[in-house]
Chains A and B, each alone.
Chain A
Amino acid sequence: MTTTDVDPEAARLRALVLPDRVHGSVYTDAEIYARELERIWYSTWVYVGHASEVPEPNDYVRKTIGPQQVVMTRDKTGAIHVLHNRCSHRGNLVCDADRGNAGSFRCPYHGWTFANTGDLLGFPFNQGYGGSAARAQLPGLGAAPRVESYRGFVFASLAADGPTLIEHLGAAAERLDRLCRLSPEGEVELTAGWVKHEVTANWKMLVENETDGYHPQFVHSSIFSISGSGIGALYSDKSTAVTRALGGGHTENDLSPEFRRLGVPMGWAGTPESKIPDYVAAMRASYGSDTADEIMINGSPHVMIFPNLFVAEIQLFQIQPLAVDRTVQHVTAIQFKGAPDLNRRLVTQCVGSVGPAGMLLADDAEMYERNQRGVAQRQPEWLDLTRGLHRERLDDDGHTIGTATDETSMRAMWRHYLELMETERSGARPSEEP
């Protein structure tokens, strides 16, 4: 990684992102946003979709990498591709439906037709190109140069080189393992459908908030009180939960110390065993009683995988910036393979928290939009990041941790952000290939 001092934009950013505060303009400046697209969204690994969304050969779903529209396809051999949704003739959008099953895509403008691998199959009236053999010389659909998946989570990078996905995920990979272990079959499925929730706020407001343990007691007090949820208490000064920087800008609120203190299988989900007997039995049959109970006591992760995948115990958010002050959250209820009784409850819970009339997401959205309007005001210019700085320490794995309400996660996110943003862009241009 090389940094350059001749890059005035990098020098400006270093003055705006400090270890204990950030300048308000990082949320509002269109030039900074443009650089984020290049240095972060179109360079690093970005979560695109889950393999369970394209279960059958020739299935496809429309997905996003920031403002870029892509199509995630499973070809007839089972391989997954991430293609730009842009016809190689004159640039029309090729796919319009959110999902479908098709071995090939036909552009609606002039009929150029592409395989779901991106290859150009043909076009109308081929004499205009000197015959159908011309298709070997003409480009197909653009493809993400790198696509890799971990436990069914499909990520793409629009840069031809860089760290591997597993290097990028680092310690966050184990959090996805922890999530998958909650399925008796070791797999999650994202089949519950999506809510798309747009806010007029910068994407980093969302990333920071996802592991901000300081706000839940205030912002979410009404849903906690009417639902009788004990979650609020986990984010208090007395809580043994920790906020952890996992490296690579990934962060988590690790509530498992509190769940272990509670010591009740599925206590983390607020669901007594008696309500989900089939699930509990299937878990014990798969893992053995002791391990199953340990898994069900420890619960699900609350992890923000930089820059756009947030797993919040029972729901999954995909963050998509559209503009410096516009962001979409794509939200779904996580479903565990082999757990129909649990899954039904999870969908109901998610409808209440993040559905169209859900209260948790609405609470946070209100804060994002107020915050975006707030940082546009002139004074004071800085946002404070010092909470818990004096009590940060290293855990046994060498990760920086703070208490449940400390801003350890934000400071770690910004450190990583600055590293990406000041890096010279070497070999990180989107693929020149057709």
Chain B
Amino acid sequence: MEDVVANEFATVAVSVDDRGNSTRLRLEDLRTGTVRYLDALELESIVWAPEAWMRALLDPSQHRWRDADRGPAQESLDP
């Protein structure tokens, strides 16, 4: 079942994917179609991540709007 988490800044579809050998969370940035899967241990790590880590993650220059000379913003992980 897919749910959408949205606000005025971002729109992300959330679902539990069971095509793999155990369940994982499927996240889709509906504005770009970019998809990321998170397994249970990754999710648990996010739950426990310090605020400083989350603040760093929200810095747009860390990923999507990263300077080109620092390499790709997201490795291609087409599942």
Pick from A53, A59, A103: contact of B42, CB under 8 Å:
A103
A76-107 interface with B by 8 A CB criterion: 76-77, 97, 99-106
User: Within 8 Å CB of B22, what residues of A?
Assistant: 97, 99-102
Which chain A residues lie closer than 8 Å to B24 at the CB level? Answer: 58, 101
Over the window 54-66 of chain A, the binary record of Cβ atoms lying under 8 Å from chain B Cβ atoms (1 yes, 0 no) is 1111111100000
Chain B residue numbers with a CB within 8 Å of A60 are 21
What residues of A have a CB within 8 angstroms of the CB of B21 in the complex? 53-54, 56, 59-61, 99-101
Whether the pair A59, B41 counts as a contact (CB closer than 8 A) is no
CB <8 Å contact, B40 and A57: no
CB of B35 to closest CB in A, whole Å: 11
Q: How many B residues are at the interface, by size bracket?
A: 10 to 19
**Known pairs A57-B77, A57-B79, A58-B24; A103 contacts B19 (CB<8 A):** no
Question: For residue B23, which residue of chain A has the nearest CB?
Answer: A101
Which residues of B (7-63) have their CB < 8 Å from a CB of A? 19-24, 37, 39-42
Contacts of B20 in A (CB 8 A): 55-59, 101
Q: How far is the CA of A42 from the CA of B1 in the complex (A)?
A: 46
> Do residues B77 and A55 form an inter-chain contact, with CB atoms below 8 A?
no
Instruction: State in angstroms the CA–CA spacing of A99 and B42 once bound together.
Output: 17
- The complex places the Cα of A101 from the Cα of B24 at a distance, in Å, of 7
- Contact present for B40 and A102 (CB under 8 Å): yes
Task: Say whether A104 contacts B41, CB under 8 Å.
Answer: yes
Nearest A-chain residue to B38, judged by Cβ:
A103
- Taking a contact as CB atoms under 8 Å apart, the answer to whether A102 and B19 are in contact is no
CA distance A97 to B39 in the complex (A): 15
Q: How far is the CA of A77 from the CA of B37 in the complex (A)?
A: 13
Contact B41 A58 (CB under 8 A): no
A57 touches B42 (CB 8 A): no
B79 lies within 8 A of A103 (CB): no
List the A side residues contacting B40 at CB < 8 Å. Answer: 102
Q: List B contacts of A59 (CB < 8 A).
A: 20-21
Q: State whether A106 touches B19 (Cβ < 8 A).
A: no
Which 7 residue pairs of A and B lie closest in terms of their CB atoms, listed nearest first?
A101-B20, A56-B20, A100-B22, A99-B21, A59-B21, A101-B22, A102-B39
